[in-house]
Chains A and B, each alone.
Chain A
Amino acid sequence: MPVDPSANGGYMVAAYVVTAVILVGYAVSLWRKTRRGRS
């Protein structure tokens, strides 16, 4: 049966935040490694 559209929004937010943190976090770590690699 159809649910209230705004219910359980917290899970969605959590998932979107976690995804961004992981992907951006990895990108940043790669960026920092590239900078440090400068001789």
Chain B
Amino acid sequence: MTTESLAARRTAVQGLGVIGLGLAGLAAVYVLALDHTPVERFQGLPQKIFYVHVPAAWCALLAFSLVGIASALYLWLRDPRLDLFAESTAEAGLVFSVVMLTTGPLWGKPVWGTWWTWDARLTLTLMLFFLFLGYRALRGALQDPSERARFSAVVGLLGMVLVPFVHLSVYLFRTLHPQPIVLKPSSPSLPWEMLRTLLLSVGVYTVLLFGFVMTRYGLGRLDRAGGGDDAR
């Protein structure tokens, strides 16, 4: 095994360690959310979906921004590591998007009576999902590594710039989503027990994102070093 594939494998294994940590944290969040956090008065039990849904949305958006930034940097610096980072982060973002898109309707149905609403946030999350998917599909359809890196970087960058426009457009259009109640300049409207559960969950999800990206990056490096499975 070359030093390169050894180093790559080490990265992947370390990433797995981080993921393990994240999953343990996830279990803790589950216990905290289900057993030690008060039930919300007006929405009842389904409100607890909040603790698995919102962090997923946060991670998907974070992942997407990272892909956009890495794409821009790649187009400027042409460093293939940036391309691999973007590829890995996009995959993780896709995973979190799926979580978001499945938990969202499960929350919406009991609370608002409908599986789906075309409000600003849900529409944006659906769009992110399609952008991640398109990014992945394009990469899969291009053989030449330089072409693949450049083209998907253009998509990544354009996609990142698109996000605020869609948000603005849909927000102007209609909003049904609960108003932001966490990130207010004054004290948040969430009671402390709920806030701490949410923050812990966001932290855990972010750790998972980090672990996913790290592992996938290592696998990608391994693949490119010729030492591993097809991780594309």
Within 8 A of B (CB), among A1-39: 1-9, 11-12, 14-16, 18-20, 22-24, 26-27, 30-31, 33-34, 36-39
Q: Please measure, in the bound complex, the distance between the C-alpha atom of A30 and the C-alpha atom of B95, giving whole angstroms.
A: 12
Q: Please measure, in the bound complex, the distance between the C-alpha atom of A26 and the C-alpha atom of B102, giving whole angstroms.
A: 15
Q: A5-B39, A37-B12, A39-B5 are in contact. Are A15 and B229 (CB under 8 A)?
A: no
Q: Is B103 in contact with chain A by the CB < 8 A criterion?
A: yes
Contact B45 A16 (CB under 8 A): no
Q: Please measure, in the bound complex, the distance between the C-alpha atom of A3 and the C-alpha atom of B48, giving whole angstroms.
A: 14
Q: Please measure, in the bound complex, the distance between the C-alpha atom of A19 and the C-alpha atom of B49, giving whole angstroms.
A: 10
Q: Is B219 in contact with chain A by the CB < 8 A criterion?
A: yes
Contact B222 A37 (CB under 8 A): yes
Contact A5 B227 (CB under 8 A): no
Contact A5 B103 (CB under 8 A): no
Contact B49 A3 (CB under 8 A): no
Q: Please measure, in the bound complex, the distance between the C-alpha atom of A6 and the C-alpha atom of B40, giving whole angstroms.
A: 11
Contact A37 B219 (CB under 8 A): yes
Residue in B103, B106, B215 whose CB lies within 8 Å of A34: B215
Q: A8-B110, A37-B227 are in contact. Are A19 and B56 (CB under 8 A)?
A: yes
Residues of B within 8 A of A6 (CB): 44-45
Distance in angstroms from A34 CB to nearest chain B CB is: 5
Contact B42 A18 (CB under 8 A): no
Q: Is B13 in contact with chain A by the CB < 8 A criterion?
A: yes
Q: A15-B102, A19-B56 are in contact. Are A34 and B46 (CB under 8 A)?
A: no
List residues of chain B with CB under 8 Å of any chain A CB: 1, 5, 9, 12-13, 15-16, 19, 23, 26, 30, 34, 39, 41-46, 48-49, 52-53, 56, 95, 98-99, 102-103, 106-107, 109-110, 208, 211-212, 215-216, 218-219, 222-223, 227-229, 231
Excluding A11-B109, A15-B53, 4 further A-B contacts by CB distance (< 8 Å) are A15-B107, A34-B218, A36-B229, A37-B222
